[in-house]
Every structure is written in structure tokens, then in C-alpha cells.
Structure 1
Amino acid sequence: MELDDVLIIGSGVAALQLAACLNRDKNVRILTKSTVTEANSYLAQGGIAAAIGIHDDPSKHFSDTLEAGRFHNDNESVRQIVNEAPFLINDISMKGNIFDKDQGGDFLLGMEGAHSEKRIVHSGGDATGKNVIELLISKLTENVKIEENVFVYELLLNREQNRCIGVKAKHQDGTIQLFYGKYVILATGGCGQLYSFTSSAETVTGDGIAMAYLAGAEIVDMEFIQFHPTLLYIDGETRGLISEAVRGEGAILVTSDGTPIMDGVHPFKDLAPRHIVSQTIFDYLQNGHEIFLDIKAVKNFEKRFPSITAICRENGLNVSEGKIPVAPGSHFLMGGIRTDLVGRTSINGLFAIGETACTGLHGANRLASNSLLEGLYQGKKLSELINLSSDKPLFPEWPFSIKQIPERKAFLPDINVIQDLMMKRVGIVRSKMLLEKQRNWLNQFTIPEVNELDSYSTQDITTIFMCLIAHLITESAIGRTESRGGHFRSDYPYEDNENWCKKIIIHKQKREVANENELIEATLTT
């Protein structure tokens, strides 16, 4: 029976780094639900954090990552990734001269929020993700096949071995196809589209995490959602990301009359950690104020930030006026499928890398520009594991395709309603009352069993997955009775440092709240 050595679901930086680093004797297949470039990685305006400056050191990067993550991080994960960062930057540079440099040929290093040094490497000013993705695509060899517009919705398991052996997917015409792989890698990104205000691509709906949960994998830290402080905000809608690098170049947040809003809030002012800036903006918006990014201090703004300038122009905003209206929106998931640094999950043969995975690097709040770094790291390290492995799992004689099945409709909410209610009840500011209200609302909708998904349309399966992820976030947020990083509760506004190491681990039918010395189990209603 023919099968792939490596089956990758998703096409972001982690997925493409993995594919580009695998040996040519490996048969590699990439399945993506849209096109290969429609991913959050491609949209990334920021850069890649690496301690390569003359006054910088990985130990400083380590400390900044822990501080931003409110010490919920896995220290060993942080240490290994930040120590590897300079080597990853050099590796990408050797593949293609894409990073911005000064006249002397040294990397131009930018500053972003919660960093103590200039250590952000950029490409094309504010087009780092696009340029890195295009470089990695150009390095793919003939052993890598890419199939676009394929919607993967179920993991195939060999229960006797507790092993993932493939996936089930739908094509645009409704045909169901089964794909098998010795290594199955989920690289499907986060779940930003669960919120009405978001910087995420339309495809980012938590599919990989939902599939892993339904297969029995451990999911962790789902309460920690990072809300980026500055999305372009026009006519009550967010229209795109305004990179934190703009504030790193001197822009400040002001009210309509020009009053700075971050003075006295945090020592780093406008470059405070993202959760602090987002909560501050949220408070002003709730009290009827408009908030703007004053960019007058940024020299040569249009040249330095061409992508942002284009987004503003597309929405009728002239950056020469010096002010950009902004609001916070969902940007990054710190939690996800529980993995080690290489991407191993609690299911044999199943790996998760990039934003869909939780290695412990980000803790309760991601340090700016650590996400592309993590994707590059995991993709490279997993490729090294696979290249050296001679693992030969047993595969049953299963079919490769299934005839079209008559579709049935599920009782599901409208996606826009999910997004609006998640923003209002499980968003930047949470409380027991709002969270329980959201849980009760979600409980109206029955999540079908995984073996029932074949008969639903891709749109309905997407909505089912969004409801499931909304459950996981809401349940985790109810379980964390403190405020930490991206999780802020108005009824528990302070950090509970006696339980700072607590992690909420969810797998099918159970929720485990794990401390260093105890394990508490509870039933998860989904």
C-alpha cells in the first residue's frame, strides 16, 4: 500500500521549514485548506527575535520571554529556543539574502514591546512573514507535493498502537479522501477567527486543535489568548494589523485630543507587554473614547512600513495625517496541542508544530516576534528527528477514498454570532458571570461524534470545530481563577503566585488542573 513518509497539514512557516529541511529521500505531502500562502505566517508584519546585537545575549532574550509570559513558561523550552535563535537567523540568511541590513552589511535590528534590547530582524520593512514563506517555498524539492483547497477534518488512528496513521479530508466537490503517513504533522495555526476582532487569516479556525482533541490528544493553556493592541479600526470593524514595530519606531497611543494613554501605566509605556496595552485601550474604548496611533515621530513611515501604508490606503486612510485609529483584537494562541520541543503529542505518530502546538515557550503571553522563531525552530528540529528515524509503523488495509455521502445539516449557530459572543464574553476582560453565560449558550449545540463528521459540509464542520474550540477556551478560562498574561478576569484581577505553575490540561471527557504535586480531574462538558 502506497503512503507518504511525512504528511503535513498546514502551510505556515513551521510546515514549510519542516518540508524544506527534510531529506530528499522522504516522500512529503502538504495539505492545506486554502492556498499555500493563505496563512498567518504569510501575513506576519513583525520579525524574528534573536539575540544577535552587540550588547544583547540569549540570557536577556530568555528573561524578557519569561517576563512577558508572566513566568508561566517552560523554562527549558525557552532556553533552548532563544539559544538557537541566532543560528536560525544565519541559516535563513544562507538560504536567501532577505533580511534588512544597514550600509555596513549588519542586520537592522528593531525594538518591540517587552524587549530590553533591539533584537527584531525584519525583511522588507514589514513583510517578514511573506518573504520568509516565499523563500522556503523556493527551497522545496521535487519530493514535496502540495495539495491546495483540501479540508482535513479527522485523524485516522490505529487504536491498538495509540498511533495516528493518517487523515481524512474533503475536496471542494465533496469527495472524501484518506491520506496516510508514517509521520502526521498538524501545522494548522491557532484559532484567531473565533473572535470578531482579529488579525488572523480567514482560514485560522482551530481545526488542528479540534481534530487532536477529538482523537484524544492533550490540549493545554487554552485560556491564554493574546490580543494585539493595534488593529486598524474603521467604522466599528478591524481591517488589518498595525505592527508593534510602529511603536518600536516611536509611535504612541493617544486619545482624539492627543492625550497619551500609556503614561504612568507601565515603565515601558507604549512598549509595555501586549496584554497591558490591550487592556488599557479596551478600558478607553469602553468609556467612549477613540484611540489613535500617533505616528508623527516615525521617520519615513511610508518607506519603513510599506505594507501598513498600503492597508491604510486601501481603507481610505492617509498616513500623512499622522494618526491611525486602532483597537485590540485576537492575535495569537499561547496554548494548543500539548507537545515537547520537537512536536511530539500524547498520540504516537502525531506531531504538532507552530501556533497549533504548545511547547511552553510563550507562557501566558507571547513575547513579540517569538512566533516565527518558534516555527523555524520546531520545523528544523522535527526534520532532524525524521531524517534520522527508521520507524516503520503497522498500517491496516484501509481505503484511500470514500464516495460522496449525502449531506445533513447540524443545529449550529451562525459563525458571526460565535465571534461576537466570544469577543464580548471570553475576550480581553472576562468574569465568572460572562464565562458561565457563554458556556450555557454553547451547551445548546451538540458536538457530533468524530465518526459522524463525514456527512456534514466543510462549512458545517468548520462551525462545529469553532464551537468546540470556544468550549475549550471558555472552560479553561473558568478554571483559571486569577489574571495572568492574556487571561484577565475582572473578578480575580491579580496573579495568584502560589499557583503560578498550574496548567489546565484538557483531553476528551476530562479536564486536569495540574500543579507540581497534585492532579485534579473534572468532567468537561462539550
Structure 2
Amino acid sequence: MERVDFLVIGAGIAGLSAAIRLVDVGSVLVVTKEELAESNTAYAQGGIAVAMGGDEDVALHLEDTMAAGDGLVNRAAAAVLVAEGPKRVEELLAWGTAFDRYPESDAGNGGELMRTREGAHSLSRILHANGDATGREIAVSLLRHVREIAVRTGRIELMEWTTSVDLIVDGGRVVGATLLDGEGGLRVVRAGAVLLASGGAGQVYSDTTNPAVATGDGIAMAYRAGAEVSDMEFYQFHPTAFSEPGAPRFLLSEALRGEGAHLLNAKGERFMERYHPLLELAPRDVVARAITREGMDGTVYLDMRHVKKDLQARFPGISRFLTKYRLELGRDLIPVRPAAHYLMGGVRTDVQGRTSLPGLYAAGEAACTGVHGANRLASNSLLEGLVFGALAAETMMGERGTGALGLGDEAWVAPVAPAGVTSEAATERWIAELRELMWRYAGLLRDEGGLGLAQRGLDALVVSMPKGLYRRALEARNLHCVAQMIVASALGREESRGAHYRNDFPLRDGAAKHSVMRQGRVEFVA
């Protein structure tokens, strides 16, 4: 058994933002499933939205966030996000984050931070790094800073290749977690406070832009422990993932459309004017549904042949990917389709990161403050992790348990592992079946019949749930838990709002309510 003051599960932007602060008052253990550089943060291409131009800019950012969220944004949370954002980005700059700047030779903007525009933003406020590698640059700079603090203080331990199994609850309070290390050993960590910063769950769908680590572990663990989970029906499908048979659903950043890319249907027609006045820069849910509908008659393409810029320099990562398929921005039509990208729901928290369970906090994509409502504004995700990771840390420092570290070992109950071990091949087939089921019946366009089929399919999968205490079996259990919550919440929401679209209920309900799940029940609250 190990004891620390603070346990942080996840090493993306939210987890590292918190760890930097927690070390001021105690020992910190940061655990992550793979190497420290592997997280959803590192895959974020487009940039980070931040209002660096003063109060008027902040107010406009707030209104854009509210509008994109389709009537369901928690205004108090969004106000905190946009107001705290500039200060947190200034910290990133101080820690060496190299956002792109205009060359010194530029007479009007020489040396200033470059700002671009993306969908549903009223002006250009997106900072980017290395063209289309913003998330990776932020992750690298945060990790570098954390390691410097670890060397200087000796109070941060970074544990790679470690899978979280379950939370430990004692007397109604979360007091730690069980972990599976890279060698298959079970470890028990007791902590004064636990932060879930474990990211999203895109792997619940067969088509996703998310990396393999995004299996909803933190959300599932919190739910099993008794925490409230909210808005799980709102999964954002990015409109433009690469669409080629046999190819990964590689993200083609919204920044491409911000730089002027058009969307064309199989007939070569621009079609977004039929769906929204902002055309290709409409909110993501609108663009994703439009591409889906147009795609019923053939392939949809991203077209930048008319854009007179050095696109390889602006989008080096995307350009390198496309060369594998003998395609080039500015020369070729690029086939696209939507793919699961970002979960607006998660473990229900307040603005300070508190969950419904004492001792447990959440931040980033694993959390649901309501800041994104029904549809996240482009490039608000990195800002969310940065801001709310810091706020959660401040709360944890003031509320950490004083008695948790002294409890006896008898308080821990070992996690239940069903007898037997399912082969890795059988586990992969089981996961693939779940992901295909979710994509087909609980994806971008939904109805009661399809969601019912998804629910019955998930119930049937319980019988063959992979057994054994190893990473993929644990991920299978977590994906199943997340899938059940998505389907149950989607069935309960009999309206269309933001990323949740019901063919059988195409209109938005007049009352804006959040779904809340706890112990198998779904409720809708204002």
C-alpha cells in the first residue's frame, strides 16, 4: 500500500495543470496508462481559444460559447472559463510554450501571436503551435515544467504504463484507487484527494479521432463508485475526419475551414448554404449532420484548391499524413466524414471541480461542468483542461482529507475479478462488436428503435464480458459502462439539441435540462 497526499489520474493538460499546483502543499502521484506524452491533449490540432484582447474580447468569447452550446451551457462555468483563460495562457507562455507568431518582417504584426478563426467564433482568437500541433506543444511544455518541479522538490512522482482499476471508497469518501502497473501487479494507493483527469471515451465508437487510450476509464470508475454523471448523450462528432477505406479516421482540423476550405458533395457543389448562414464555419453539430446527409449520395470532400497560402507550412502534420495517400492540400479534394471526437458529458462537477463524492474531483474531458452545453465551441477543450485543472487543484488543497491516510488496511475491499481469463483475441473481438454497435445505433443520427437495439445489444454483451485483470479487459468493462450511460441518456432525451439529434424528435424542447445518471437511473434537471 502506498500513501500520497494527492493522486492525479491522467497526464493530459488538466492533470498536469493540477499537479503543478498541488505540489505546493503535499506529495503528488500522477499516473497514466501509456507514456506521459500520450493523451487526447497531444492530439489536439486546431489550437486553444482564448480572449487576450481585454474585457470586450472576453465577453464575446462568452457569448460565442453560449451560442454554440445550444441553450444548455452553464453560464457561470463558461464565464469562469473565458475570464480565467488569458491568465492561464500567460502561464503557458512563461513556462516556454511556443505558440506561433508572425515573423518579425511582418510590418503590421511582427512578433505578435498568430490568431486564427474556427467554426462558430465571431472573430479570430485561436492560438496555435507548429501549425497544427498545438496540443502536443502544450503537453510537452507542461510535462517539462512538471519534471523540473519534480527534480527541485522531490514531491511529484510520474508513473507511466499504469491502468487505474477502481476507486477506493471508505465511509462515503473516496480515499484512493487500485492500480495495475505495467508488469501486471496490483497496487493500492491511498490519497487525501483524488483527481480524475483521464480524458474522454472516443473508443466507444468504431469511427473516432481519439487515440487508443480514450476508453472512458475515469468516468466509469466514478460511476461505479456512486458518483453522479451528467450529459452523456452529448458526444461531439467532428465533421471532417479523413475518409478512405482502411485508413484511420485522422482528424482534419477545423482550422482548415478557418483558412477558407470549402465542403463539396459528390456533385462538386458547395452545400453548406442549405444548412446554416455561417456556411463551413457553422457549429460542429450542424456541419457534421450536413456532411452525413450529403454523404448519403456519395463522398463529401474538403476543398482548398482555391486557397492561395503555403498550406504545407501552415498544416505540416496534416500534410505529412496526407502524403501517405498521395494527397495534397491545395491540389486535391480530400475525402471526409464525421467521427466521434469529444464528450461534452462526464463526471458531474461544480466549477471548482468537486464531484458528488467527497474526496473525488474531476477536470478536463472526464468532467462535466456544463461549460460546453450540448455542443462544444471549437478549441475550447484545451482551455477547459487548463482552467479547470487549476481550479480543481486549488479546491483539493483546501479540502484534502485529514484522516484518510491513517485508515487501516482493512478498509480496502479488493476489486472483483471474475474467474477465468478471456484471451486477448476474444477481448478485441468483443470490443470491436461493442464499438460497431454504438456507431450504428447511437451515433450521429438517433431514434428510439436504433437506441433500443443498442441497449439490447449491450445487455447481450454482458454475458461474454471479457474476464481477467489486464488492461484490455478493464478497458472493455469501462467502455461497456460508458456505452450504457450514453444510450440510456440518449433514450431519455426526447428532443434534438446540439450534438444529440433524434430523427423521431427533431425539434428542441423548450425546457433546457441536463441529464444526470446515478446508480442506473436517469433524471433531467434544470
Q: Is the contact between residue 2 and residue 188 of structure 2 (CA under 8 Å) also seen in structure 1?
A: no
C-alpha separation in 2, matches of 1:172 and 1:54 = 47
Q: How does 1:76-87 map to 2 (within 5 A)?
A: 76-87=76-87
Q: How does 1:45-84 map to 2 (within 5 A)?
A: 45-53=45-53, 57-84=57-84
Q: Is the contact between residue 190 and residue 355 of structure 1 (CA under 8 Å) also seen in structure 2?
A: yes
Deviates more, 1:455-464 or 1:248-257: 455-464
2:502 is aligned, of 478, 486, 489, to 489
Could you say what secondary structure the match of 2:490 adopts? helix
Q: Is the contact between residue 201 and residue 215 of structure 2 (CA under 8 Å) also seen in structure 1?
A: yes
Question: Which residue pairs with 2:107 in the alignment?
Answer: none
C-alpha separation in 2, matches of 1:505 and 1:471 = 13
C-alpha separation in 1, matches of 2:468 and 2:169 = 19
2:143 is aligned, of 123, 137, 143, to 137
Unaligned runs of 5+ in 2: 105-109
Could you say what secondary structure the match of 1:487 adopts? coil
Is residue 2:525 matched to residue 1:514?
yes
Aligned length: 507
C-alpha separation in 1, matches of 2:475 and 2:3 = 27
Question: Which residue pairs with 1:318 in the alignment?
Answer: 328
Could you say what secondary structure the match of 2:256 adopts? helix
Q: Is the contact between residue 303 and residue 330 of structure 2 (CA under 8 Å) also seen in structure 1?
A: no
C-alpha separation in 2, matches of 1:10 and 1:485 = 28
Q: How does 1:110-509 map to 2 (within 5 A)?
A: 110-140=116-146, 141-142=149-150, 143-158=155-170, 160=171, 162-235=172-245, 237-287=247-297, 289-298=298-307, 299-388=309-398, 391-394=401-404, 395-398=406-409, 408-409=420-421, 414-446=430-462, 455-497=468-510, 499-500=511-512, 502-509=513-520
Q: Is the contact between residue 208 and residue 340 of structure 2 (CA under 8 Å) also seen in structure 1?
A: yes
Amino acid at match of 1:446: V
What does the per-residue CA deviation read over 1:135-166, in whole Å, with 9 as the maximum and x for residues that have no partner? 001111122111111111100011x2x11111
C-alpha separation in 2, matches of 1:406 and 1:275 = 40
Question: Residues 339 and 403 from structure 1, CA distance in 2 versus in 1: closer, same or farther, beyond 3 angstroms?
Answer: closer
Q: Is the contact between residue 176 and residue 403 of structure 1 (CA under 8 Å) also seen in structure 2?
A: no
Could you say what secondary structure the match of 1:474 adopts? helix
**Deviation of the 1:105 alpha carbon:** 2.4
Amino acid at match of 2:352: V
What does the per-residue CA deviation read over 1:366-421, in whole Å, with 9 as the maximum and x for residues that have no partner? 00011100100012222323445564133422289989989624697611111111
Q: Is the contact between residue 119 and residue 378 of structure 2 (CA under 8 Å) also seen in structure 1?
A: yes
Could you say what secondary structure the match of 1:414 adopts? helix
Amino acid at match of 1:89: V
Is residue 2:114 matched to residue 1:108?
yes
Q: Is the contact between residue 157 and residue 163 of structure 1 (CA under 8 Å) also seen in structure 2?
A: yes
Deviates more, 1:461-470 or 1:317-326: 317-326
C-alpha separation in 2, matches of 1:455 and 1:416 = 18
Question: Residues 407 and 303 from structure 1, CA distance in 2 versus in 1: closer, same or farther, beyond 3 angstroms?
Answer: farther
Query: Taking structure 2 as the reference length, what is the TM-score of the superposition?
Result: 0.91
Question: Residues 463 and 295 from structure 1, CA distance in 2 versus in 1: closer, same or farther, beyond 3 angstroms?
Answer: same
Q: Is the contact between residue 228 and residue 516 of structure 2 (CA under 8 Å) also seen in structure 1?
A: yes
**Deviation of the 1:279 alpha carbon:** 0.3
Could you say what secondary structure the match of 2:112 adopts? coil
Question: Which residue pairs with 1:520 in the alignment?
Answer: none
C-alpha separation in 2, matches of 1:85 and 1:373 = 6
Question: Residues 261 and 2 from structure 1, CA distance in 2 versus in 1: closer, same or farther, beyond 3 angstroms?
Answer: same
Question: Residues 437 and 182 from structure 1, CA distance in 2 versus in 1: closer, same or farther, beyond 3 angstroms?
Answer: same
C-alpha separation in 1, matches of 2:389 and 2:53 = 25
Query: Taking structure 1 as the reference length, what is the TM-score of the superposition?
Result: 0.91
What does the per-residue CA deviation read over 1:288-347, in whole Å, with 9 as the maximum and x for residues that have no partner? x11111012331100000011111123443335232111100000000000011211111
Could you say what secondary structure the match of 2:488 adopts? helix
Q: Is the contact between residue 175 and residue 403 of structure 1 (CA under 8 Å) also seen in structure 2?
A: no
C-alpha separation in 1, matches of 2:417 and 2:481 = 23
Quote the sequence identity (%).
37
